[in-house]
Amino acid sequence: MRLGRDFTNLLEYEYLDQDDREAFLAGKLTVSDMDATVQIKVKADIARQCQVAAETGLQHVELDGGIPNPYLTLTDAQIRAARAAAEKFDITLSMHLPYTFTASATCGFQEEDRQAAVAYLKRYLDVAAALGCRFTVMHPGQIPYYQAVGRYLDISNRMLLASLTELGGYSDKKNMPLHMENNTFWDGRLYTAGECLPIFQEIRNRGINVKFCYDLAHEFTGCKTIDEIPDHPEENYRTVPDDLYMGIQIGDFIPEGRLFHPPMHRQIGRLKREHFVNMFRILREKGAEYVVIESAVREREDLMHAFELQAEEARFVRGAFDEAQTNAGSAAR
């Protein structure tokens, strides 16, 4: 397995100009303001992401296609430079496709909307292939909570299956497997493995190769307190058939305060070191090939020292990963 990261907002502070840095430090520029100011610039600098991943001991970068992003406007020269950087730093790439606005209609009720979403995401798949991405990840789409019931759900599932059939087949032709990631609780549907697995069974029955990017942190969002999360939630990975694994995102969630993706080395959520060791052992047995760290920070001090934070987090995750591999080797002997 290769360990990697989606940088979310961890590199943004270094892209602020001097005036905005001073405003940020003075509390006049919020974290979300910073995100809105430099997000596109950060995401376009794929070479920097590859460099930081390598310098912190990682081997993979997930390109974040959350809106806004620059990927549909990358020039041929930018794409060549990104590929050269990935090769230089021995980094493999994947892309998380957009999942809001137009992209959310992949499971909507109107066929015209669904077709527009599929055509839109195919453009991202073209860019991902040009960048040499090993795989891509999409969300199942969103519907209003008041329509996430009964026959509306049946219609939505049919629409999603049609979208997965088109996008999965399109990706396979590019030798770049498509993954579907479970939603969060707030998206209205398909946030647990139990909800998602029948969709995968049906899409496989159609002969389409779509993998499952099972995000435990997304499943945690259905809980109101940490105590509602099982003592060993990583055991849920065993419920997914082996052939659905390729790329996985790992993160945590704290229901109290709705804190999403806190840095994992701080162990302030449900997941502790023992959980990660067991998680990597299970994923190795299941045949996962890529594990993507997802964390984000909201405090000014963390963002100012984000390189040190992510380096420490990477060491923590790598330590659990290495222990899992060592234990597996000892057991084999």
Q: What is the 3-state secondary structure (H, E, C) of 231-281?
A: CCHHHHHHHCCHHHCCEEEECCEECCCCEECCCHHHCCCCCCHHHHHHHHH
Mean pLDDT of the chain: 96
Domain segments of the chain as ranges? 2-328
DSSP 43-54: HH-HHHHHHHHH
How does pLDDT run across 45-101, given as a tens digit for each residue?
999 999 999 999 999 999 999 999 999 999 999 999 999 999 999 999 999 999 999
pLDDT of residue 320: 98
* pTM of this prediction exceeds 0.75: yes
pLDDT > 70 fraction of the chain, expressed in percent and rounded:
98
Residue 330 has pLDDT above 80, yes or no: no
Q: pLDDT-derived band of residue 325, with 50, 70 and 90 as boundaries?
A: confident
* Domain 2-328 CATH superfamily: Divalent-metal-dependent TIM barrel enzymes (3.20.20.150)
Q: pLDDT-derived band of residue 329, with 50, 70 and 90 as boundaries?
A: low
pLDDT > 90 fraction of the chain, expressed in percent and rounded:
95
pLDDT of residue 188: 82
How does pLDDT run across 99-122, given as a tens digit for each residue?
999 999 999 999 999 999 999 999
Distance of CA 295 to the CA centre of its chain: 10
pLDDT of residue 20: 97
Question: For residue 87, how many other CB atoms are within 10 A of its CB?
Answer: 12
pLDDT of residue 93: 98
| DSSP code, position 66 | P
Residue 180 has pLDDT above 70, yes or no: yes
How does pLDDT run across 6-61, given as a tens digit for each residue?
999 999 999 999 999 999 999 999 999 999 999 999 999 999 999 999 999 999 99
pLDDT of residue 258: 86
DSSP 92-135: EEEEE---SGGGGGGG-S-HHHHHHHHHHHHHHHHHHHHTT-S-
* Residue 137 β-bridge partners: 96, 179
